[in-house]
Structure 1
Amino acid sequence: MPLHAPGVTDLYHFQYETVKGFFMQSEDGTDDSKFDFMKENFGLIDRKYGTEILDEEIAKQHWQSFERYVKRVNEKSADGESYKVLFLGRHGQGFHNVAETKYGTEAWDCYWSLLDGADGVTWSDALLTNVGKQQARDVNALWKALLPKGIPAPETYYVSPLTRTLQTADLSFKDLDLPSDRPYAPIGKELVREALGVHTCDRRSTASQIREDFPHVNLEPGFSEPDPLWLPDYREPRSARNYRLSQFLDDVFEHDNNAFLSFTSHSGAIASILAAINHRAFALQTGGVIPVFVKAKRVEGERKKPPHEPSEGPPPCKEPPAATKAS
């Protein structure tokens, strides 16, 4: 599978670290099973930044102070180093999520996920359910509430080219009153997809179909008509997924000079990004968002590629387990 990020050199890669002390989700004491980013200002910690701000009113606006701080550390960073704030958003509930709950994870992994759908429900390249759409609208409402209070709008919007993530990004950002220099112009990137292969929910539509359904999305250069990454008989192992998402980050940190970025993606992909930046594990419910403050340092040599491993997950079942057969 062609997993090399376009334009990323083999001469160097990046080492990442999470800068703690800015978002509650990055702190070890935060319980991810109870934390609600909707009620906690996306998790931004109320703190002082050490920046010399003369305007008392601006100083009271925590997001504006944080944005100034990020700008300052980038200006003072050494050659080959940079800092970015990534808003990592998981798509809202999709029909595949409902199906996995209905049939159970064991039966889903070995049988149902290999089908395009069942019981009148389609989950290949799954769409959002009404619940999932509302989850994305709730995130939109949070942005609408915080933008007038100084939260910096993302400067770049990256999105997985699967339908559920494209829908989520649109419902989250499309109608926001954004600054003219930070428009919502989503970029579809192959490498920020969910684990590849076997599960039909993770097989994307053709480029033609995506352009027809989402004409405002800019698909990255070289985006192929058919899905080049999904295989029906090989599920991407976690080590390969972690490598792929690290390559995605290398691509972004090498070519995007902006500091505030939005990634609309999937639970597995976000878990791999958190691992790449040495962030604590943090589970997200469908529709959840976690901001992370990241420092990157360019280092010599290509990123080490993991060895080829067997397909992840159980072998296919010839028929559904008796307890979960469709009625």
Structure 2
Amino acid sequence: MEFVALPGYFSSFEKENSPALDSTLVDHNVLVNHDDWKILYDSIPQDTENTQYKLLLLARHGQGYHNYSMEKYGVKLWDDYWSLLEGDEGGSWLDSRLTDLGKQQVSETGRTVLVPIVDQLGFLPHIFFNSPMRRCLETFAFSWNHVFTKYPELVTDSTIVTNNVIENLRENLGSHTCDKRVNHSEAVAEYQNFKTKSGHTVAWKYEENYSEPDALWKADHRETPDEMDIRTRTGLEQLFSQASSKDKFLSLTCHEGVINSVLRNLEHPGVKKLQTGKTVAVVVKVTTTL
């Protein structure tokens, strides 16, 4: 399977050989050749026998307690000392949850980004994907809640929203405890059948034989960018394999590191300094070998 981003849809990849953008200075999600999302969607090439085209919406989680703590202590102290612990007097950042600010950030994204996209398209993503980390589970629920509230009729199974968890599409592994997953049973007890304010139930669909303890994270090795890109590629293969030909609009709620790695795998220009709660949209060409 091969996948590559296509230029000409968003300001983050306006044309071939576009440079990386600083997302704190430039709006990287501006539609560059289309008046609205429906026109953009309709312009995406039609699938062929062994090629599919997807609109992929990548969302970074809102501020977690680890993000707050990194700002509090500074990057050097965080990397050298605090990140190796599980928390401080203010709380735990092991598999960090969202802060109150983080919940506000993703709620704002739901209202100002996701709702307008669905307004224009007239439908939800055909399939949802998620990192297994708690901050990402919360981000999905608190952001998409606004869409489900406004458009309950668009939820295929009237009250249940299924989201597919992909273990490989999680943040940079190793040493930093904020990136260590809690036991599967703990996450399931806390988040499975999560009730949104819209009245919908989020059903998290995990991979078969999903590991109870975190089998990927190691205390003594921080994953290199090259190692992460290999893992992310595996995750993307899983994601695109799970999406049928009818699943053209895909949503992935994950992390800054994952988004950066996804963009590298897709040969897409970098979107630097992506802030918590923000999104990146990409049109992807997926080629399978017959």
Q: TM-score, normalised by structure 2?
A: 0.85
Structure whose alpha-carbon radius of gyration is higher: 1
Residue of structure 2 equivalent to 1:232 = 219
Return the structure number with greater strand share.
Answer: 2
Q: Does 1:148 align with 2:139?
A: no
Q: Deviations over 1:264-287 (max 9, x none)?
A: 111111110000000001021111
Q: How does 1:1-327 map to 2 (within 5 A)?
A: 14-27=1-14, 28=18, 31-36=22-27, 42-47=29-34, 62-70=36-44, 73-75=45-47, 77=48, 79-142=49-112, 143-150=114-121, 152-175=123-146, 176=148, 177-178=151-152, 179-181=154-156, 184-215=161-192, 216-257=203-244, 258-283=247-272, 284-298=274-288
Q: Secondary structure at the match of 1:83?
A: strand
Measured in 1, the distance between the counterparts of 2:26 and 2:267 equals 20
Per-residue deviation, residues 210-229 of structure 1 (Å, max 9, x unmatched): 11111121222221111111
Distance 1:239 1:297 in 2: 23
CA contact (8 A) 1:84 1:260 kept: yes
Structure 1 unaligned regions, length at least 5: 1-13, 48-60, 301-327
Structure 1, 216-225 or 271-280: larger mean CA deviation: 216-225
Name the stretch that deviates more: 204-213 or 27-36.
Answer: 27-36
Name the count of aligned residue pairs.
266
* In 2, Cα distance between equivalents of 1:254 and 1:242: 18
Q: CA deviation at 1:16?
A: 2.2
8 Å contact 1:93–1:133 — kept in the other structure?
yes
Q: In the aligned structure 2, how far is the partner of 1:151 from the partner of 1:108?
A: 44
Question: CA shift at 1:299, angstroms?
Answer: 5.0
* Contact 2:129 2:239 (8 Å CA) reproduced: no
Kept in 2, the 8 Å contact 1:174–1:184? The answer is no
Residues 151/235 of structure 1: CA separation in 2 closer, same or farther (3 Å cut): farther
Q: Which amino acid aligns with 1:263?
A: L
Cα deviations by residue, 1:228-274 (Å, 9 ceiling, x for unpaired): 11111111111110001111111222331111111111111111000
Contact kept, 8 Å, 1:64 with 1:152, in 2: the verdict is: no
TM-score by length of 1: 0.76
**Identity across aligned pairs (percent)?**
32
CA contact (8 A) 1:137 1:172 kept: yes
